[in-house]
Amino acid sequence: MAKKVTIYDIAREAGVGIGTVSRVLNNNPSVAPETRNRISEVAKRLSYQPHTYAQRLARQQSETISAVIPFFTSYFFMEVLRGVQEKVSEFGYDLVLYGVEHADQAENYVAKALQRGKVDGILFFSMKMPDRVLSMLKESNLPVGLVDSVSPSFDSISVANAEGAYAATSHLVELGHRKVGMLNARSVSTPATERLQGFRRALEQQGIPYSDSLVKCGKSTRHDGFNRDSGYEAMMDFIAMGSEMPNAFFISSDIQAFGAIAALNEKGFRIPEDIAIVGFDDIELARLMRLTTMRQPMFQMGVLAIERLVSRMSNPDMEILHTTFSPTLIVRESCGAFMSSEGMPSTKSRLR
């Protein structure tokens, strides 16, 4: 068995002390560039493999980033976390996921995470955290990043939910629809609240009276209402309105839209001939279902979240940064934009 290369071997080959080798391997800037290059070349030639745990102890870092999310199975979070994981691996950190049912549970996790050596940074997803939790984090000086939520005290990455809902609703009105409804998630969700604001503003600016009867949410509370069952239940409630039922809908998430489509098909409605639909997210299934939707750059949000957090970990005093992405309208068949003047689809593709 080959002898394991140690820093003593590197020091001997490079003609320096082991302290100098240790500083180079731990990225200490106090070593002259020429010496640093010589040590790095020797380490590479000898195929030196550092002991990860020892490196972490030397830098007093855990090399671990934590992501605190309200649930694991949402399509939105799965896509954002895909971007997070790819970038975490690139930086060489471990990722620990912690699921919570509501923001209050985050307090217990934060208290544990603040113990020395637990994590080097935390990402919080889609949570409006209690003031006491925000105070704990500020006092700790632990690097923190927020995704899909905003606080003036921490870096944040979010989506312009109201702007996206406004664009989706306006698109339906521009197609000639005057009876537009909304299938929303639970009002405890910040994205749901903001998307309702955008929906209402679009109607009012188009001179269409707003009524609470135009907005429904299913009974399912899973994922704050962002689920297929919620979309199915809400659409069934609309269908029960009979002749008062809207003929176009902005739906707060693609997964809810799939439930709504199932309800409409069950009752014999055609899409888009009878009912026009626009969703929100642009998850992979939306393309297969030919769903018009508002695209969120979910993967890119995850990548940027890690890049920003690692920068904060390296430079705690840098300026707090807030990035807001604008969703993009992706037009497919479900909204009826490709219908001919005779009311028939102008392409062979039909959403059924």
47 found inside a domain: yes
Range of 24-38, 94-108, 152-166, 179-193 with top mean pLDDT: 152-166
Is the predicted pLDDT of residue 78 greater than 60, yes or no? yes
Is the predicted pLDDT of residue 195 greater than 80, yes or no? yes
Verify that 255 and 210 share a domain, yes or no.
yes
113 pLDDT band, cuts 50/70/90, is low
Count: domains in the chain? 3
Neighbours of 296 (CB within 10 A): 27
190 exposure class (CB count in 10 Å sphere: 0-12, 13-18, 19+): middle
Is the predicted pLDDT of residue 29 greater than 90, yes or no? no
Verify that 148 and 240 share a domain, yes or no.
no
Name the helix (H) or strand (E) containing 44.
Answer: helix 33-45
Q: The tokens of 70 are what?
A: 């309200």
Rg of the chain in Å (alpha carbons): 26
The string of DSSP letters for 56-102 reads HHHHT---EEEEEES-S--HHHHHHHHHHHHHHHHHT-EEEEEE-SS
343 found inside a domain: no
Name the helix (H) or strand (E) containing 251.
Answer: strand 248-251
Verify that 16 and 126 share a domain, yes or no.
no
What pLDDT was estimated at residue 50? 61
350 found inside a domain: no
Verify that 166 and 293 share a domain, yes or no.
yes
pTM: 0.74
226 pLDDT band, cuts 50/70/90, is confident
Verify that 23 and 106 share a domain, yes or no.
no
Sheet holding 276-281, edge to edge: 215-216, 180-183, 248-251, 276-281, 293-295, 328-330
Verify that 150 and 178 share a domain, yes or no.
no
Verify that 179 and 55 share a domain, yes or no.
no
347 pLDDT band, cuts 50/70/90, is very low
Range of 128-132, 133-137, 243-247, 312-316 with top mean pLDDT: 243-247
Q: Which residue has the higher pLDDT, 82 or 167?
A: 167
2 pLDDT band, cuts 50/70/90, is low
- CATH of residue 138: 3.40.50.2300
Verify that 175 and 263 share a domain, yes or no.
yes
Domain extent at residue 145: 64-159+298-325
Q: Please give the angle made by the CA atoms of 87, 190 and 222, to the nearest 5 degrees.
A: 85
